[in-house]
């Protein structure tokens, strides 16, 4: 089969141990990001199977209709919101998704960002390399408030680490988040306003859905303290367009640490956050860890092989098989 893997712009897929699972197939890995549907359609037009890398590549109906040979999309991870599954089903294209997800790597990276931002570790390292000795006076974590907006699997891990540092954990979110927070003994915010007003560190840990897109507004961010740190390792689209940049420019919150952007990859330093001294940015690398990659891609590749042998598994649209 011709198997296409788009948007491997970090050139990592072929280095994985599980890549050997596809031996004997015609695997075409595209490392440069496509800049239009036309370009992406040309890259993928011969593909019988596509393995997307998480949600990097969007598959709207317009693109799916340009892929005449496509029979199967094997998604890495669980999310399929970037795929028009209805269009796939209409074309008889089976879509399989992952059943595993590791929350640990994102939680670890989130805490790396928090500590690096509050301690100004990048700045101190740069000063030492220039021959200077830092005089940065950083805030401590003990006794301060850690806000968690969305206490799911990842948010729960971040909250537990904050508690270990002696922070006061304050949670807001949907009913499931509040139930988990109560069970863990965390404080429940009276509402969104209190969460934004009182958090010294606020971690945004929501899933991106039609309901949560743009949920964090400029008015929310304006409630934060000038000394507060806003952290987003979830999805950039959870924040209203331009709201975080404007908030940092106005000084509320005083700082941000982010790992996600509206359009990725961000190349040439072409993002306003990268030009701000009060923003710490990493290249959507929170989930990029070898064990996680092996987990996600290993399952996606195994789903491909099962489909090729007429034994499809983990389908999100089994009705496509009858078309």
**Which is catalytic among the residues 48, 180, 284, 299?**
284
Residue from 205, 145, 219, 210 nearest 174 by CA: 205
**Which is catalytic among the residues 65, 108, 264, 289?**
264
Contacts (Cβ under 8 Å, ≥6 apart) of 136: 119, 120, 123, 124
- Residue 264: phi and psi, rounded to 5, are -125, 150
284 is catalytic: yes
**Which is catalytic among the residues 109, 235, 252, 271?**
235
264 is catalytic: yes
CB-hemisphere CA count at 13 Å for 66?
15
213 is catalytic: no
Q: Would you call 44 helix, strand, or coil by DSSP?
A: helix
Contacts (Cβ under 8 Å, ≥6 apart) of 180: 151, 152, 156
Tokens of 47: 């593909």
Helix ranges restricted to H, 11-94: 37-44, 61-64, 85-90
Residues belonging to the active site: 235, 264, 284
């Amino acid at each position: 089969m011709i198997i296409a893997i788009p948007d491997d712009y970090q050139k990592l897929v072929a280095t994985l141990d599980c890549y050997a699972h596809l031996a004997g197939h015609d695997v075409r890995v595209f490392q440069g990001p496509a800049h239009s549907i036309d370009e992406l359609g040309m890259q993928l037009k011969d593909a019988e199977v596509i393995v997307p890398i998480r949600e990097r590549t969007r598959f709207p109906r317009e693109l799916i209709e340009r892929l005449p040979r496509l029979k199967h999309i094997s998604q890495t991870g669980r999310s399929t919101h970037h795929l028009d599954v209805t269009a796939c089903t209409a074309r008889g294209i089976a879509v399989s998704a992952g059943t595993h997800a590791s929350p640990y790597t994102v939680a670890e990276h989130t805490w790396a960002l928090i500590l690096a931002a509050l301690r100004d570790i990048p700045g101190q390292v740069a000063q030492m390399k220039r021959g200077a000795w830092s005089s940065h006076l950083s805030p401590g974590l003990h006794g301060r408030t850690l806000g968690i907006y969305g206490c799911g699997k990842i948010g729960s891990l971040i909250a537990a680490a904050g508690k270990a540092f002696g922070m006061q954990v304050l949670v807001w979110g949907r009913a499931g988040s509040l139930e988990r927070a109560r069970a863990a003994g965390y404080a429940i915010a009276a509402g969104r306003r209190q969460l934004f007003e009182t958090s010294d560190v606020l971690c945004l840990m929501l899933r991106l859905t039609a309901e949560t897109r743009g949920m964090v507004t400029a008015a929310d961010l304006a409630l934060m303290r000038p000394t507060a740190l806003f952290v987003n390792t979830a999805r950039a689209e959870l924040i209203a367009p331009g709201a975080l940049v404007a908030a940092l420019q106005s000084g509320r919150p005083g700082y941000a640490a982010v790992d996600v952007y509206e359009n990725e990859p961000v190349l040439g330093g072409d993002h306003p956050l990268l030009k701000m001294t009060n923003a710490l940015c990493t290249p959507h690398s929170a989930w990029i860890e070898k064990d996680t990659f092996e987990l996600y891609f290993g399952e996606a590749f195994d789903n491909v092989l099962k489909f090729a042998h007429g034994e499809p598994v983990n389908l999100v649209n089994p009705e496509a098989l009858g078309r």
